[in-house]
Amino acid sequence: MRFDILTLFPGMFPGYLGQSLLDKALRRGLVEIHIHDIRRWSKDKHWKVDDRPFGGGPGMVMRVEPVVESVEAVQPQGDRPGRVVLLTPQGRRLTQRVVEELAAEPRLILLCGRYEGFDQRVIDILQPDEVSIGDYVLNGGEVAAMVVVDAVIRLVPGVLGHDDSNVDDSFSTGNRLLECAQYTRPREFRGWRVPEVLLSGNHGDIARWRQQQSYEKTKQRRADLLDESDRPDADDTSRKDET
Ligand code: 9D3
């Protein structure tokens, strides 16, 4: 799978890309990541890529020419144009379902913004998939792009050690409950003991205990995950209404 990241801060990525799991996936050729500095496509003598908003108001706006031209220059590098993902607070929220959808693509072009946002014509022309990573304010799209890469690459076959260590994840399609408490040695620390059932060797009891713990924890902390609205086919508009 190939990623192209377009940013005004290319220096933010090498540290993240050097982490072991990702570094290994890159060296094994399972994942390819290319970082591009949008400033290269500025026509301004000072490499300026932002400007004041028409109509007035605070902050600056990313100019349309360098952004659109950078995407159009990068797309022909590689054998398919790829799906353009614009990281923006106005996007649809990134969930594991969206991550799975993005992981099915052979190539993603991740476009990171700075300042107050993009000139609307960037969106009109490129018609990107607009994605937000959650309802809090970041300083730009770079950290969000790293989140997308991080979540997506672990679904690329062969990136994780064993094939199904991700089907069991909280929020993935296989299991929508939170994970139960886990323990390892020692059996007792400062009087805090590992639950007896886990030491019992009775695998049926263990499985039932874990299922129960997961359910209770989910009900207490994340009742929203148990809502019917979050079941896998909840956004399938083709189905008949069922109440
Ligand atoms: C004053 C209105 N602000 C919108 C909430 C302006 C604004 C704040 C922060 C515009 C852009 C940004 C920078 N954020 C991102 O580029 C961003 C982001 C985020 O802030 N939160 C969650 N996901 C994302 S993806 C990109």
Q: What's residue 230's pLDDT?
A: 42
* Distance from C-alpha of 81 to C-alpha of 207, rounded to nearest angstrom: 46
Q: Which atom, in ligand 1's list, is nearest to the CA of 137?
A: 20
pLDDT tens, residue by residue, 101-113:
999 999 999 999 9
Helix H or strand E encompassing 51 = strand 50-51
Describe the chain by its helix, strand, coil percentages, rounded to 5: 35, 15, 45
For residue 58, the ligand 1 atom closest to its alpha carbon is 1
CA of 144: how far to CAs of 48, 129, 141, 150, in Å? 23, 14, 5, 10
Secondary structure class of 17 (helix, strand, coil): helix
Out of 97, 154, 210, 222, the active site residue is 154
| Contact status, residue 38 vs residue 87, Cβ threshold 8 Å | no
Q: Which residue has the higher pLDDT, 123 or 163?
A: 123
Given pLDDT bands bounded at 50, 70 and 90, which one contains residue 66?
Answer: very high
Task: Tell me the average pLDDT across 146-159.
Answer: 96
Cα–ligand 1 centroid distance for 87 (angstroms): 8
As a whole number of angstroms, the distance between CA 145 and CA 215 comes to 32
* Mean pLDDT score of the chain: 91
Over 50: is that where the pLDDT of 233 sits?
no
Cα 63 to ligand 1 centroid, rounded to whole Å: 17
In eight-state DSSP terms, residue 118 is B
User: Known catalytic residue: 116?
Assistant: yes
Does the annotation count 58 as an active-site position? no
**Global confidence as pTM:** 0.90
pLDDT of residue 61: 98
Catalytic residue among 44, 116, 196, 235: 116
Q: Is 14 a catalytic residue?
A: no
DSSP 8-class letter at 116: T
Tokens of 174: 């296989």
pLDDT surpasses 70 at 241: no
pLDDT of 240 higher than 60: no
Q: What integer pLDDT is reported at residue 170 of this predicted model?
A: 57
